[in-house]
Amino acid sequence: MPTILITGGSRGIGRALVQDYAAHGWDVIATARSEDDLAELNAMDKVEALELDVGEDESIDRFVEQLGDRPIDLFLNNAGIASIDADDRAGFLKTLEINAVAPTMLARRLKDHVAQSDQKKMAVVTSRMGSIGDNDGGGYIPYRASKAAVNAAWKSLAIDMKPDGIAIAMLHPGHVKTDMGGSGAPVTPADSASGLRKQIDETNLSNSGRFVGYDGAAIEW
């Protein structure tokens, strides 16, 4: 069975992705930060939980060591935060760090794990909010900037990793009912997760580097 590594498996879209992939027979490695979340994930069938704070280098080092040299068919970076106050320097920088810097550094650290797998895929849960062309609403400056940054970075990863046979997708999950998306959001985490899985299934070296919604709609940069 293929192996997926999902960051931010504790709640929201990440938790739904863990459930969806496990239900479809994948071996799931899910990351979380708290003891309670790790125990809850470990109790799920087909799921192994590993501790990871994507903002801490030491945590990343420990995590990569625990992974050992096992092949990862799909690295799915889902963990993210959403500071929206552009006057808060620390919050702005933290959002850039967690949403753009960390996924990109992790992808580079995990390149060999993915390159030695059968499916050889990476995907990042970014956001339509990171589209500059689609921004007719303004606001949300740190969050928008972080998602535009991760899109730019992962577009380069798609080009850089093509010779290794790795296909990459940048995915908008919809406006999803989670702590981040709010209770009034129209899309359930389960529907988002199954749409994201379909888009990832359709990702290959010919379309690598695309920015697409969970419903298959192409999104302008």
Ligand X SMILES: NC(=O)c1ccc[n+]([C@@H]2O[C@H](COP(=O)([O-])OP(=O)(O)OC[C@H]3O[C@@H](n4cnc5c(N)ncnc54)[C@H](OP(=O)(O)O)[C@@H]3O)[C@@H](O)[C@H]2O)c1
User: According to the binding rule CB under 6 A, does residue 81 interact with ligand X?
Assistant: yes
Residue 157 CB-half CA count within 13 A: 27
The helix (run of H) or strand (run of E) holding residue 157 is helix 141-161
To 5 degrees, how large is the angle CA 195–CA 82–CA 214?
Answer: 10
User: According to the binding rule CB under 6 A, does residue 54 interact with ligand X?
Assistant: yes
Q: In this structure, what DSSP letter does residue 139 have?
A: -
Work out how close the CB of 13 gets to ligand X at its nearest, in angstroms, rounded to a whole number: 4
User: According to the binding rule CB under 6 A, does residue 13 interact with ligand X?
Assistant: yes
169 three-class SS: strand
User: According to the binding rule CB under 6 A, does residue 175 interact with ligand X?
Assistant: yes
User: According to the binding rule CB under 6 A, does residue 173 interact with ligand X?
Assistant: yes
User: According to the binding rule CB under 6 A, does residue 53 interact with ligand X?
Assistant: yes
In 3D space, the residue among 221, 178, 171 whose CA is nearest the CA of residue 200 turns out to be: 171
Alpha-carbon distance values, 151 to 5, 26, 157, 182, 215 (Å):
20, 27, 10, 24, 18
* Touching ligand X, residues 130-169 (CB under 6 A): none
Tell me whether strands 167-172 and 210-213 are parallel, antiparallel or unpaired.
parallel
**Which span sits near ligand X by CB under 6 A: 85-93, 109-117, 171-179, 197-205?**
171-179
Work out how close the CB of 53 gets to ligand X at its nearest, in angstroms, rounded to a whole number: 4
Q: For ligand X, which residue of 3, 5, 6, 12 counts as binding (CB under 6 A)?
A: 12
Q: For ligand X, which residue of 3, 95, 127, 131 counts as binding (CB under 6 A)?
A: 127
The widest CA-to-CA distance across the chain, in whole angstroms, is 47
In the bound state with ligand X, the residue whose beta carbon lies nearer, of 61 and 164, is: 61
| Contacting positions for ligand X (CB under 6 A) | 7-8, 10-14, 32-34, 52-55, 78-82, 98, 125, 127, 173, 175-176, 178-181, 185
